[in-house]
Amino acid sequence: MKRIVIFASGSGSNAEKIIQYFQSTKTAVVTQVLSNNEHAKVLKKCKTLNTSGLYFEKADFFTSDVVLNLLKKEADYIVLAGFLLKIPSKIIEAFPNKIINIHPALLPKFGGKGMYGMHVHRAVKEQKETESGITIHFVNENYDEGSIIFQKKTSISTDDTPEIIAKKVLKLEHLYFPKVIEQVILENHG
């Protein structure tokens, strides 16, 4: 059974869906949820999901090897579920094609630094897009530029507000993210 560590910065709805999904499979188990936000709701959710949730400081991530050493002990795969910090190259090098992110738009559109959450959905609305969706991709040294694993679209009407777009996209995230993570693991390990 493969081990997944999830990084999350906020409410943790995707982390919750991933933990629940893998609690009922034999493919993998979520061993840890790590957050750079000590007040993140995801850490509270971990308690009810019987999953370890840990807060870490930026220095543990960027200037020391505290987080890297923990990952080497706890993870075969790393999943970013609403995590806003850029992953340091030392972690990317230690886990090549083993770090999976979800982006709330159809990359390469609406990606890059600062493009997360409602910033993305507002930009999609402002550009009068007729569709949006999710992109699940591997993480490399640049924001949202890693190889695309999976995309799923949803249509947008001219009446849709950024909040409605966000709800449509989140529904896709919850439906597909856990399944695509499992698919990646199965393709790599049969």
| Catalytic residue, candidates 103, 121, 137, 174 | 103
Q: Which two tokens stand for residue 129?
A: 């897009």
Give me the DSSP letters along the chain: -EEEEEE--S--HHHHHHHHHHHT-SSEEEEEEEES-TT-HHHHHHHHTT--EEE--HHHHHTSSHHHHHHHHH-SEEEESS--SPPPHHHHHHSTT-EEEEESS-TTTT-STT--HHHHHHHHHHTT-SEEEEEEEE--SSTT-SPEEEEEEEE--TT--HHHHHHHHHHHHHHHHHHHHHHHHHHHH-
Tell me if residue 103 is catalytic.
yes
Supply the residues annotated as catalytic: 103
